[in-house]
């Protein structure tokens, strides 16, 4: 059977992870490699990509690992230049970089508000500004998959207004770009993950939301999910794979919610 991304070059930002296990970026990079894509793995920490690279090697994938800060326009251009020079083409971009900072309207500082927009939304703008003209020049179409969050469409249990606003912006950013780029056969879609069990729960969220008690936080999160289990980065990766593949050739400007039914319930 032909691999679903055979011959494609896929860029995955935030391809590292804050700890062992299936973070979204790690899972996406690995899953895409399983399906034949040559991977450009980008993260601001090379060390954070060690397990990612090992998992890609385990599935006999080909990967170029690049360390860089995708909040910086100059760095983004350099990363894209290096990726294009190495593989000779670019086909798929997965904008996965993101991080929440807790705080509602009276608690979040102006600096943290700006930081949330920078890392969760402006990174996508900068990456797409560099990716799109290169794919347009190839004249063979392409796919962009942005990773948002149910925080961008619902209250999800904690006040994090900067993160929520930025992730809401990601969704509309994708819709507008999809219409603009449709003539070039560049499809743009968004995955909207819910409260997944990724390494970030233990490494970051437990301290912010549960006084360091990861078990209690996981229990609260599970109560919001109608399905009797919590998804992880592999579920996000499978959604991104579908949207990046030819199976989704007539899908653009839309969102795929991956949350176990959480955003569909009203209690």
Task: Spell out the residues 6+ positions from residue 7 whose beta carbon is closer than 8 angstroms to its own.
Answer: 36
Cα–Cα distance for residue pair 82/66, rounded to 1 Å: 9
Task: Spell out the residues 6+ positions from residue 172 whose beta carbon is closer than 8 angstroms to its own.
Answer: none
| CB neighbours of residue 42 within 10 Å | 31
Q: Pick the catalytic residue: 163, 166, 259, 262?
A: 163
DSSP lists the bridge partners of residue 187 as 143
Q: Give the closest residue to 243 by CA, choosing from 233, 251, 235.
A: 251
Q: What are phi and psi of 98, to 5 degrees?
A: 180, 155
Element (H, E) at 79: helix 73-87
Cα–Cα distance for residue pair 96/68, rounded to 1 Å: 14
- Describe the chain by its helix, strand, coil percentages, rounded to 5: 50, 15, 35
163 is catalytic: yes
| CB neighbours of residue 214 within 10 Å | 16
- Token pair recorded at residue 266: 């009203």
CB 10 within 8 A of CB 94: yes
> Could you give the residue numbers annotated as active site?
163
């Amino acid at each position: 059977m032909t691999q679903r991304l055979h011959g494609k070059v896929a860029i995955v930002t935030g391809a590292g992870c804050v700890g062992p296990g299936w973070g979204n970026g790690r899972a996406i990079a690995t899953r895409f490699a399983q399906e034949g894509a040559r991977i450009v793995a980008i993260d601001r920490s090379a060390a954070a990509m060690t397990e990612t690279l090992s998992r890609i090697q385990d599935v006999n994938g080909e990967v170029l690992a690049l360390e860089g800060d995708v909040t910086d326009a100059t760095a983004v251009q350099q990363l894209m230049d290096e990726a294009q020079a190495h593989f000779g083409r670019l086909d798929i971009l997965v904008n996965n970089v993101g991080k929440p900072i807790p705080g509602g309207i009276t608690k979040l500082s102006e600096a943290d508000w700006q930081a949330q927009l920078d890392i969760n939304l402006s990174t996508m703008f900068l990456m797409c500004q560099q990716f799109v003209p290169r794919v347009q020049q190839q004249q063979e179409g392409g796919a962009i998959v942005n990773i948002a969050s149910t925080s961008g469409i619902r209250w999800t249990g904690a006040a994090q207004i900067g993160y929520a606003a930025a992730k809401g912006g990601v969704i509309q950013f994708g819709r507008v770009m999809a219409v603009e780029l449709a003539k070039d056969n560049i499809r743009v879609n968004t995955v909207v993950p819910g409260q997944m069990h990724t390494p970030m729960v233990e490494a970051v969220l437990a301290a912010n939301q549960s006084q360091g008690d990861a078990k209690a936080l996981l229990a609260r999160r599970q109560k919001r999910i109608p399905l009797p289990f919590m998804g992880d980065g592999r579920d996000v990766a499978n959604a991104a794979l579908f949207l990046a593949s030819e199976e989704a050739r007539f899908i653009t400007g839309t969102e795929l919610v991956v949350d176990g039914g959480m955003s569909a319930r009203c209690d």
